[in-house]
Each structure stands twice: as C-alpha cells, then as structure tokens.
C-alpha cells in the first residue's frame, strides 16, 4: 500500500492543508504509519496524540491513531487541548517517545494540520519530507499497537502554576487580568488555570468553537485584539492576554491598550531572566527589534539573532543551551524552569511573575521601552520558484555595495536610519519585509531601499502588501 500527499501539504515546520481539498483522513493515516515506522526503527514504542478545537480534528485524530497503531506503535490519547499540553505530555510521560498534535493553529477554519515531536526534539524539514518519501514507497512497518486515553489537563495546569513559585500570593492578589482565548483550544485550560491563580480574572471566548465566531484566533493581528482592548478598558484591568488557536503563541496589551509585541514581551522576560541567570544567551528571530538585542546586551546577556520558525528556534536553543528564546510571531520558549517548548499559557504566567519580581506593572514596563517606528510584517506574493532567488539577488547587490548585512535568514540591513529585512517565507509563496527606525522619515528612507531592491529584481511592493 502507498500514499501520495498533495504537493502543498508537507511544509518546513509542520504539515498543513485544506480539509476536503488537500488534506483528509487518508493523509492522517499515512502520517501515522510513517511516523510510527520511524519511531519503531529508532527504538520507540509509544506516541502521545492530542488535537485542537477545529471541526475536522476528531476525524483526523481517529485516522492518525489507526495509522500509528497499524505500524505497531502504542498511542496515548490526551484528547482536546492546546498544542503545549501535548508537548507537556511528550516531555513528562516517561513511557512516551514522541508526540503529534492535530492543529490548524491560526489558519482559517477550513485548514488543519500536524505538529510533531520525535524523541524529544522537533520533527521538521527533512523529517517531514521523509514521511512523503516513505508513503510514496509504501515503506511502512506493520504491527498492532494499542491505544489508551489519559487525562492530563489538570496535571498540565498545575505545572503552569509552578511558574509563580516563590512569589507570595499577597503580591498578586490585587492583579486584574483579561484573557481572550478566541474560541481556540486553550479555552478550557485557561478557565482551569485562572481558577487556581490569585487576583481577579476576566475571560473572553473560552468556549471551544472551530468556526471562530467572535474573531480570528491570531493575536499578532491587532484587529483581533479589539475585544480584549475593550474588556481591559471597561473593567480597568492591569493588562490583557490573548492566545492563538492552539495556544502556542501569545499576544498581550497593557493597561492603556497598547499592544506588547512578541519582541517587546521578550524584553520583559529577558530582564527578569537575566537577574536570575546572569550572562545567559537569549535568542530572537531576525524580525525582532534592534531594541531587544540592545537591551539583552545592556543587561549583560548574550543576544543571538536566529532564523524564523518555531522548530528552528527550538533546535538552536538545544544547541546553545539558551534558557529563553522568542519570535516576533508570539512563540516564546522557556527552558529556564521549564521544557524549552513554545507555550503561550506558561508565557502568560511568566509575564505575571516578571512584573512581580521586577516590581513594575506591565504598563510601566511597556512604557519604558524605546519608541521605535516600525512596519508590521509586510507580505507580498511572489512566484514560488522566484522567492529564494530574489533574496539571493538582493544579497549579491548589497555585498557589491558594501552594505552592513546579516544573512542569517534572508537579508537584514543596518543603516544610520535603522534596519530593514527581506526574507522568503518557508510556509507560503511570499516575501516578507520589515523595517524599523527612530522616526517616520527614517522609516520612509528604509522602505525606499526595499522598494529599490525589489524593483532591481523586477518586483514591486504592490497593494497586496499587508500584515
């Protein structure tokens, strides 16, 4: 028996497709067969499986479990919950050597996909392509694995609460916090978590609904934070927290309704962490503000700029032993007192802890940050066959001009006005640009440089550019 995946489904960091068009039960079954075969060959015996709140997730979970057991690996079903709950199951269950979460993350409601952990490390890139090769060849072991169910939500939430260890409850009793889970899979976990926390908590949209009736569950889009901003203002809350569809990315606003972007959250976490573990390496992706890297240096830490992508960041953390990393997109990774995976609920707890330990409100911490003028992520369509080539052309022209270029992931160019970035997306046929300056005039000059480079490669930043 063999299986052919749709050409768009096996991606760099995860597996993703449109239900009924490019992704269905047969794909899930083939993923299970391939993953289980690789795990058996590596000496593993058991996989944890979880799923998010999308309408299609139970169907995919059923087929995935059939595929895994059909290749002789046992399954621990942890049920519906956020992706980090599945990561926690994989990290904490001693008899489990792998994990798969069925999730469409922050994609539209008709999408779904898979995020995977293999023997304690991210499963991505060449690993995912291998599943396609194995399916095409029918290279699967046969067997008869067993499936069992385990309740892990309560244990997971209790572990999150440990992030406040050592902070007297009296320091937190006066806190008033808003939480918006956007009808995503983190809802029930946040309900349970807030019951166990000191302070006053106001919750929005915690009922899991895969049609996302209130707003799209992507906290990096400011329009999706409108309900949370209204709640914080109406109830006079200290700050608000938002989560994406599967709970591995965090968004936040302060008490004045200002967004605290991913790199700004990392500035707060870094200040707290470097007091506890001086001199630490802290990783952020190439889209992060220069203010973050400068702050880490000023606090005695070692800033490391790395490639965008949660799997790439996790791998770099393991390699460098960094206790903290983060991405502009709201993925935050704590290896300090935690497991090193991206968990937005744990990041929420660490924000509460950081504010308490630093003795400043979240609004004060946000207000103290340098006022930079920057663009959101600008994305524009480019033919898949051209996207990496354009970046190489830009790199060659910049090298010839003697510009100051960091080519960790695309090109990031430093000028007297600030910096600009151009990189190819690993998950879509788009180029991503971003620029940051101290003032609008500087930002305009940086954008003109980006436009000039695109024009030299026969492209323009048309009206489709947007966040």
Note the pLDDT of residue 14: 84
What is the count of structural domains for the chain?
3
Instruction: Give tens-digit pLDDT for 370-404.
Output: 999 999 888 888 888 899 999 999 999 999 998 88
pLDDT at 464: 46
Mean pLDDT of 317-345: 96
CATH code (residue 77): 3.40.120.10
Using alpha carbons, select from 105, 172, 115, 204 the residue that is nearest to residue 349: 172
461: in domain: no
pLDDT of residue 106: 82
* Residue 105: active-site member: yes
Last residue of a domain, one of 339, 367, 395: 367
The distance of Cα 208 from the centroid of its chain, to the nearest Å, equals 20
Residues 247 and 356 in one domain: yes
pLDDT at 301: 98
Same domain, 404 and 354: no
Q: Are 95 and 56 spatial neighbours (Cβ–Cβ below 8 Å)?
A: no
Last residue of a domain, one of 151, 167, 202: 151
**Residue of 57, 105, 280, 289 with catalytic role:** 105
**Tens digits of per-residue pLDDT, 223-237?**
999 999 999 999 999
Q: Are residues 130 and 180 in the same domain?
A: no
| Residue 116 confidence (pLDDT) above 80 | yes
Same domain, residue pair 260 and 389:
no
Same domain, 361 and 412: no
Regarding whether 30 and 130 lie in a shared domain, the answer is: yes
H-helix or E-strand containing 204? strand 200-204
The region of weakest confidence among 64-73, 132-141, 193-202, 372-381 is 372-381
Residue 75 lies in a domain: yes
Domain range spanning residue 93? 15-151
Q: Please report the DSSP string for 295-332 in residue order.
A: HHHHTT-EEEEE-SSHHHHHHHHHHHT-SEEE-TTS-E
Contact 203, 190 (CB under 8 A): yes
Residue 207 counted as domain residue = yes
Same domain, 132 and 221: no
Residue 286 belongs to a domain: yes
Say if residue 71 is in the same domain as residue 188: no
Residues 132 and 205 in one domain: no
CA proximity to 262, closest of 297, 287, 294, 226: 287
Report the pLDDT value the prediction gives residue 143, as an integer from 0 to 100: 97
Please tell me whether residues 197 and 80 are part of one structural domain. no
pLDDT attached to residue 140? 98
Provide the pLDDT confidence category of residue 466 given band limits of 50, 70 and 90: very low
How far apart CA 333 and CA 39 sit, in angstroms, is 25
Asked if the structure places residue 8 within a domain, the reply is: no
19 within domain boundaries: yes
Q: What is the CATH number of the domain that holds 389?
A: 3.30.310.50
Beta strands of 221-376 (E only): which ranges?
Answer: 239-243, 250-254, 259-260, 281-285, 302-306, 324-326, 332-334, 373-374
Is there a single domain that holds both residue 186 and residue 302? yes
User: 262 with 341, same domain?
Assistant: yes
- Determine, yes or no, domain membership for 466: no
Looking at the chain, the whole-number percentage of residues with pLDDT higher than 90 is 88
Q: Is the pLDDT of residue 311 over 90?
A: no
Last residue of one domain, picked from the residues 131, 151, 171 = 151
The yes-or-no verdict on residue 123 having pLDDT over 90 is: yes
């Amino acid at each position: 028996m063999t299986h052919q995946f749709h050409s768009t489904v096996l991606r760099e960091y995860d597996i993703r497709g449109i239900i009924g068009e490019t992704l269905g039960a047969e794909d899930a079954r083939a993923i299970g067969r391939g993953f289980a075969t690789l795990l058996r060959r590596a000496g593993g015996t058991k996989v944890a499986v979880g799923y998010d709140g999308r309408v299609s997730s139970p169907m995919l979970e059923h087929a995935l479990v059939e595929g895994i057991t059909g290749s002789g690996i046992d399954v621990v079903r942890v049920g519906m919950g956020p992706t980090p709950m599945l990561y926690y199951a994989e990290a904490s269950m001693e008899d489990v050597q792998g994990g798969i979460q069925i999730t469409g993350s922050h994609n539209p409601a008709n999408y779904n996909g898979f995020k995977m952990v293999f023997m304690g490390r991210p499963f991505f890139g060449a690993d995912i392509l291998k599943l396609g090769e194995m399916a095409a060849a029918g290279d699967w072991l046969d067997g008869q694995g067993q499936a069992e169910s385990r309740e892990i939500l309560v244990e997971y939430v209790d572990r999150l609460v440990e992030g406040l260890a050592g902070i007297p409850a009296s320091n937190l009793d006066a806190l008033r916090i808003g939480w918006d889970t956007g009808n995503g899979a983190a809802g029930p976990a946040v309900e349970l978590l807030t019951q166990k926390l000191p302070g006053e908590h106001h919750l929005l949209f915690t009922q899991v609904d895969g049609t996302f009736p209130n707003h799209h569950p992507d906290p990096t889009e400011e329009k999706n934070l409108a309900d949370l901003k209204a709640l914080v203002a109406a109830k006079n809350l200290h700050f608000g927290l938002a989560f994406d569809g599967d709970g591995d990315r965090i968004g936040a606003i302060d008490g004045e309704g200002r967004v605290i972007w991913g790199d700004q959250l990392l500035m707060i976490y870094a200040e707290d962490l470097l007091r506890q573990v001086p001199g630490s390496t802290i990783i952020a992706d190439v889209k992060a503000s220069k203010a973050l890297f400068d702050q880490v240096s000023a606090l005695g830490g070692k800033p490391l700029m790395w490639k965008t992508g949660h799997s790439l960041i996790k791998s770099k953390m393991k390699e460098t032993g960094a206790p903290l990393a983060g991405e502009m997109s709201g993925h935050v990774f704590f290896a300090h007192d935690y497991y090193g995976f991206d968990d937005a609920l744990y990041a929420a707890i660490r924000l509460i802890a950081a504010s308490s330990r630093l003795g400043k409100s979240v609004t004060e911490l946000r207000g103290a940050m340098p006022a930079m003028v920057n663009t959101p992520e600008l994305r524009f369509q480019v033919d898949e066959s051209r996207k990496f080539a354009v970046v190489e052309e830009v790199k060659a022209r910049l090298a010839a001009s003697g510009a100051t270029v960091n080519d960790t992931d695309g090109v990031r160019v430093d000028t007297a006005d600030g910096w600009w970035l151009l990189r190819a997306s690993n998950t879509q046929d788009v180029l991503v640009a971003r620029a940051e300056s101290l003032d609008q005039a500087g930002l305009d000059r940086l954008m003109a440089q980006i436009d000039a480079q695109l024009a030299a490669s026969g492209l323009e930043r048309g009206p489709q550019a947007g966040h």
